Amino acid sequence: MRISKYLKNILLGSMVLIVFLLSGCAEVTNSPATESKPGITITDMSGAQVKIPAAIDRIADAWPAHHAILCILGKGDKVVATTAVAQRPWMEKINPQLNNAVAVFDTAGTNMEELVKAKPNIIFITSNSKNAGTLARLGIPVVQLYFTDFDSLKECVRITGAILGEQAKNRAEKYIAYLDGKLAGITAITSPIPREQRPKVLHITSLTPLMVDGKDTIVNSWIEVAGGTNVADMDGNGKEVSLEQVSNWNPDIIILGNTAFMKGGNIDGLLKNPAWQHVRAIKEGKVYINPEGVFFWDRYGAEEALQIQWAAKLLHPNKFEHINMVKETIDFFKTFYNYDLSAEEAEKILNGKRP
């Protein structure tokens, strides 16, 4: 009888313990701290609605210039899939993790098998990408972005920041505030300059074949902000033209993108080329290489904020004596890339040279 009572007490105690444990598990399961956070839905720059997962720690980016924006937002080390041409020496220097990313995007298409193996949470592409439909069928969120002027640059940065979380969102606003401040300071000086007093500028992206950048481009935007006039009167980037057309435009200043000499040559060769001697910029020796940093300053990267300062000082040196481009470059890299750039490195960037 005593044994039976003893067993009853054990059984009763066990039941109480089980109920307690079950109730405890239920509390843990329902705890707000362990519930999965919902994602968000954004409207990308193609107008598409895209559902974004709450956590993004693996990024595929088919737009090399956008890599620099990811670095600005503190997410450059999350890139696991990139393009065959994305690797830039300065970009690799400030973001060595990029060397571990697999190149899956190129002009011929996308290596879908390798892209899937990379297991990205999100894919960034340009809004004119022909692969948008194919990539969307993978079941991975695809975000389309682009910019052709400073307003759309800021929108691109804001959307990317909103996608990548609160910290990235804050960094996006910090960058935009910096860009807005520089735009306001420069245009306050250049906007009153009459058109006839603005130097005529030609931006060349390739010498062989001869290709230039026209209107409706970020290149046109920074030329105008800096107080110049873009003589290339067609729309779009990389438009092939003849030397005769350049002679007719007769630019005061020629700025060469870092891609201009991809097939050989240098500024000295251009300045001494007999075929170019009747062009004013050549005769007066006003031919310059554009700076190149984490991405080309002149072409669709985050360093457009530095480009406008460099271009303003180049076109109107007397009006912008206060700008110290070495200091601005060092400060920018520290603030937005968290990289301590030396004065020597800054000089290399400003002269379009690699590390």
Query: In this predicted model, what pLDDT tens digit does every residue of 260-277 receive, in sequence order?
Result: 987 778 899 999 999 999
User: Whole domain around residue 273: which residue ranges?
Assistant: 194-350
**211 lies in the same domain as 140:** no
**98 lies in the same domain as 134:** yes
Ranking 9-13, 60-64, 120-124 by mean pLDDT, the lowest is 9-13
**102 lies in the same domain as 215:** no
Parallel, antiparallel, or unpaired: how do β-strands 239-240 and 229-230 relate? Answer: unpaired
Q: Which residue has the higher pLDDT, 152 or 35?
A: 152
**148 lies in the same domain as 260:** no
**170 lies in the same domain as 209:** no
pLDDT at 331: 98
Q: Is residue 33 part of a domain?
A: no
pLDDT at 100: 92
Residues, the chain: 355
Examine the fold and report which residue of 178, 204, 237 is the final residue of a domain before the chain moves on. Answer: 178
Examine the fold and report which residue of 148, 178, 208 is the final residue of a domain before the chain moves on. Answer: 178
pLDDT-derived band at 182, boundaries 50, 70, 90: very high
**264 lies in the same domain as 289:** yes
* Helix H or strand E segment including 109: strand 109-110
Q: Is residue 15 part of a domain?
A: no
Structural domain count of the chain: 2
Q: Say whether pLDDT at 87 is over 90.
A: no
Measure Cα distances from 195 to 81, 200, 230, 290 in Å: 45, 9, 11, 23
Q: Say whether pLDDT at 78 is over 70.
A: yes
**123 lies in the same domain as 217:** no
Task: Specify the pTM.
Answer: 0.87
Q: Say whether pLDDT at 126 is over 90.
A: yes
**210 lies in the same domain as 345:** yes
**225 lies in the same domain as 98:** no
CB contact burial 112-129 (16+ within 10 A = b; e otherwise): eeebeebebbbbbbbbeb
